[in-house]
Amino acid sequence: MILAVSLAISAIFGSGVFLLLQRDLLRVVVGIVFVSNSAILFVIAAGLSRGDAPIYPLPEGGLLGAGTSDPLVQAMALTAIVISFSTAALLLGLVYRLYAAHRTVDVEDISEAETREAEALEKDGDLGEPEREEEPQGKPAEVELGEETR
Amino acid sequence: MTGFADSADPLVLALAVGIPWALAAALSLFDGRKRWVGWVAVAGLGATLAALARLAVLVVGGDRVEMTAGGWPEEVGITLRADALGATFALVSVGVIFASLLYEVLGGVRSRTFPALVLFMAAGLTGLFLTGDVFNFYVFFEVSMTAAYVLASYREQDHQVRAAFIFAVINLLGSVVFLIGVAALYHVTGSLDMATIAERIDPVQPNSVIVIAAAIFVAFSLKLGLFPFHFWLPAVYVGSHPPVAAILSGALANIGSYGLLRFGGGLLPRELELGSAAVLVLGTASIIYGAVQAISRRDTSEVLAYSAIGQAGYILVALGVGGPVGYAAAVLYAVVNSLNKGLLFLAAGLRGPLVGAAFAVGAFSVAGVPPAAGFLGKVALFESSLAAGTVPASVALVVLIFLGSALSFVYSFQIYQRRFWAPKPDDLGDRGKPSPVAPRVLVVLLAALALGVGLWPEPLLSLSEAAADVLAGGP
């Protein structure tokens, strides 16, 4: 049993890491979900025991005669599942935000587009001085705020 | 289970953890750009700060305040436990968050979620510094990290969103590694309570514990941005909004220092001693790398980001030396460092009379020039390096710290010179306009605090010594 669980954990973790190293941001998110789930499996494996369901009131004498199984790991796994799915949602939100701006989820394309924009800005505004880097950041934020208030 | 000096004490503890929680949940329903929402958040955080100050006074004598959540019997329910170490870190982190929130509210909040997110971050941080349960620690840690991921993309510039994405992915990976460490600790000790784990870890086979210790070390080093794990850090700080950068660097990074102290010094002291050579080497590499990179950069926030990597190295060196002197130095340095970083990032976002002076105080403090607070940190580090066992090791550490301080002096004044000396105000057009008075006054007050701590160091020294005693005597 221990061997099977550890094989499963390592397979999930490994494929998660493989996906994390891709350039496609969606795959990165899926990779994070895989890695988190392998950790959740690890949490369960940390207290793996055979026994009755730990639901109060406990059955008289026990059904399997092996006591109850460890409830703590299940509580931990549940909490970790909730955390991992909420962070996955947040990551997807960030990816969507990038997709809406650049129409691509490839990290290299996005950084290329950003470099092009920065170069275009530099040509327009003659941003020679490093001191002035902050200026183009302040203004668009205010514009965005105007859009949000609609 | 000692420490119930007064029946009102657990209430203070519950208030410190509960106020930011309740307020954050309530305020997330309102538009944070309205002034009253911002001020309610400031008031709530102020109340939290007052409760934490009360806690710090209670625990500085070596007491600890405990309560078991939800009315469960002891050993079953989750324990909230405030001791000198946790209370010190909570006080400083919430202090920096409070200053940053006040700064943003005075200057005008630009996002509807900002006050609620900052409160969530404060709730997560107070929770994790004041919990006595390792899984609970993980949950609070995720709460504050998640708030940080959203805050990192505060202005929603494309490059900020991308930096926030990278930040989130790297740190989630770190959290997963930490969760695996927590599960493994549970597996070998059968408990999640920090005190019980510290008791039961001794008879466990060292070769299984060293793996757990390594996993936990990697997780916290990622948070702290130590040298081989630092690559995400500059991208997040560059171009980020000053209060957000101050919160990330002055408050969130404390998770790393606290985690290394609590888990390394408190739960796994044997493994920390075993790995002290590796810890010292990584710390040294961080100090040198951070300082050299900081000197070579031009952008203020980039310099400060690399400086953060270097400063984290000092904490690691103090931790590697270990013992009461080393732990006290690590606590002191972490506290002073978050004060410095908060001050520098906030001051760097402003201009006008007195801001330059405030920034100079922060820069002096980073370099360790008396009477600024940073001097205390450097003195404590020198003391701890003298305690480092052999003479060659002590000499090497003293030289390293001296070199690091000299380099940090150079980069601090490079940015000071570029920002506050170089061009005349009228050459800058719009940018020459001084910032509003209120944030400037706040920054000057912070600078005065940094000077005040340096001039009257007794409270901070006794707090950090009490914190080190907590670790030396077991959690």
pLDDT in tens, chain B (475 residues): 344 445 567 888 888 888 999 988 888 888 888 888 889 999 999 999 999 988 888 888 777 788 887 777 777 778 888 888 888 999 999 999 999 999 888 888 888 888 999 999 999 999 999 988 899 999 999 999 999 988 888 776 777 788 888 888 888 999 999 999 999 999 888 888 888 888 888 888 888 888 899 999 999 988 888 888 888 888 888 767 888 889 988 888 899 999 999 998 888 888 888 888 888 889 889 999 988 888 888 888 888 888 888 888 888 888 888 888 888 889 998 999 999 889 988 888 787 778 888 888 888 888 888 778 888 888 888 888 887 777 787 888 888 888 888 888 888 888 888 777 765 554 444 455 667 888 888 888 888 888 888 888 888 888 888 888 888 764 4
- Stretch A61-68: mean pLDDT: 62
Contact state of A72 with B186 under an 8 Å Cβ cutoff: yes
Residue B2, domain member (yes or no): no
Do residues B263 and B177 touch, judged by C-beta distance below 8 A? no
Place of tokens 């570029």: B418
Contact state of A131 with B187 under an 8 Å Cβ cutoff: no
Amino acid B376: pLDDT: 85
Amino acid B431: pLDDT: 52
For B112-210, strand residue ranges (E) read: none
Q: Which domain holds residue B102?
A: 9-472
Do residues B256 and B314 touch, judged by C-beta distance below 8 A? no
Q: How many CB pairs under 8 A join A and B?
A: 113
Amino acid B322: pLDDT: 80
What is the C-alpha separation between B337 and B316, in angstroms, rounded? 13
Please state, as a whole number, how many other Cβ atoms lie within 10 Å of the Cβ of residue B70.
Answer: 8
Amino acid A138: pLDDT: 38
Contact state of B161 with A98 under an 8 Å Cβ cutoff: yes
Contact state of A131 with B431 under an 8 Å Cβ cutoff: yes
pLDDT, tens digit (0-9, with 9 covering 90-100), for B411-447: 888 888 877 776 555 444 445 566 788 888 888 888 8
Residue A111 burial (C-beta neighbours within 10 Å; 0-12, 13-18, 19+): middle
Is the pLDDT assigned to residue A95 strictly greater than 60? yes
Task: Name the residue with higher pLDDT: A108 or A12.
Answer: A12
Beta bridge partners of A106: A24
For B331-401, strand residue ranges (E) read: none
- Stretch A46-66: mean pLDDT: 70
- Nearest to residue B111, comparing CAs of B38, B23, B19? B38
- 3-class DSSP state for residue A6? helix
User: Which residues in chain B have Cβ-Cβ distances shorter than 8 Å to A2?
Assistant: none
Amino acid A79: pLDDT: 92
CA distance B338 to chain A (A): 24
Q: At what angle do helices B35-59 and B114-130 cross, to 10 degrees?
A: 10
Residue B3, domain member (yes or no): no
Mean pLDDT of chain B: 84
B158, B414, B419, B431: best to mutate for the A interface, most A CBs within 10 A: B158
Q: Chain B contact for A110, CB < 8 A?
A: yes
In degrees and rounded to multiples of 5, residue B82 shows phi and psi of -105, 120
Q: Chain B contact for A49, CB < 8 A?
A: no
- Amino acid letter, B58: L
| CB proximity under 8 Å: A 66-95 to B | 72-73, 76, 79-80, 83, 86-87, 90-91, 94-95
- Our count of domains for chain B comes to 1
Amino acid B453: pLDDT: 86
Query: Over pLDDT 90: what percentage of chain B?
Result: 15
CA distance B110 to chain A (A): 7
Contacts of B230 (CB under 8 A, 6+ apart): B286, B289, B290, B309
Place of tokens 């329910």: B77
Do residues B276 and B339 touch, judged by C-beta distance below 8 A? no
How is residue B436 annotated by DSSP? P
- Nearest to residue B124, comparing CAs of B25, B212, B54, B243? B25
Instruction: Determine the residue of chain A that is closest to B417 in CA distance.
Output: A131
What is the C-alpha separation between A73 and A49, in angstroms, rounded? 10
**Residue B376, token pair as written in the block:** 């205390």
Q: How many CA atoms does the CB half-sphere of B281 hold within 13 Å? A: 5
**Residue A101, token pair as written in the block:** 């701006």
How is residue A24 annotated by DSSP? B
Residue B243, domain member (yes or no): yes
What residues of B are in the A interface, CB distance below 8 Å? 33, 110, 112, 135, 139, 142, 146, 149-150, 153, 155-159, 161-162, 164-165, 168-169, 172-173, 176, 179-180, 182-184, 186-187, 192, 239, 298-299, 418-419, 422-423, 428, 430-431
Could you tell me which CATH class the domain A2-105 is placed in?
Answer: mainly alpha
Residue B4, domain member (yes or no): no
ipTM over 0.85: no
pLDDT, tens digit (0-9, with 9 covering 90-100), for B344-403: 888 887 877 788 888 888 888 888 887 788 888 888 888 888 877 777 878 888 888 888
User: Which residues in chain B have Cβ-Cβ distances shorter than 8 Å to A36?
Assistant: 172, 176
- Nearest to residue B260, comparing CAs of B230, B231, B226, B286? B226
Distance, C-alpha B294 to centroid of its chain? 20
Contacts of B244 (CB under 8 A, 6+ apart): B100, B151, B152, B154
Do residues B394 and B388 touch, judged by C-beta distance below 8 A? yes
What is the C-alpha separation between A149 and B250, in angstroms, rounded? 31
Q: Which of A79, A90, A140 sits opposite B139 (nearest CB)?
A: A79
Q: At what angle do helices B458-472 and B84-107 cross, to 10 degrees?
A: 130
Amino acid A28: pLDDT: 92
pLDDT, tens digit (0-9, with 9 covering 90-100), for B65-77: 888 877 777 777 7
- Nearest to residue B162, comparing CAs of B114, B222, B232? B232
What is the C-alpha separation between B181 and B212, in angstroms, rounded? 5
pLDDT category, A137, cuts 50, 70, 90?
very low
Contacts of the segment B216-220: beta carbons below 8 A, 24+ positions apart: B216/B178, B216/B181, B216/B259, B216/B263, B216/B264, B216/B268, B217/B260, B217/B264, B217/B275, B217/B279, B218/B174, B218/B177, B219/B174, B219/B175, B219/B177, B219/B178, B219/B181, B219/B259, B220/B178, B220/B255, B220/B256, B220/B259, B220/B260, B220/B263
Residue B222, domain member (yes or no): yes
Amino acid B442: pLDDT: 87
What is the C-alpha separation between A78 and B110, in angstroms, rounded? 36
What is the C-alpha separation between B442 and B347, in angstroms, rounded? 9
What is the C-alpha separation between B443 and B438, in angstroms, rounded? 9
Do residues A95 and A105 touch, judged by C-beta distance below 8 A? yes
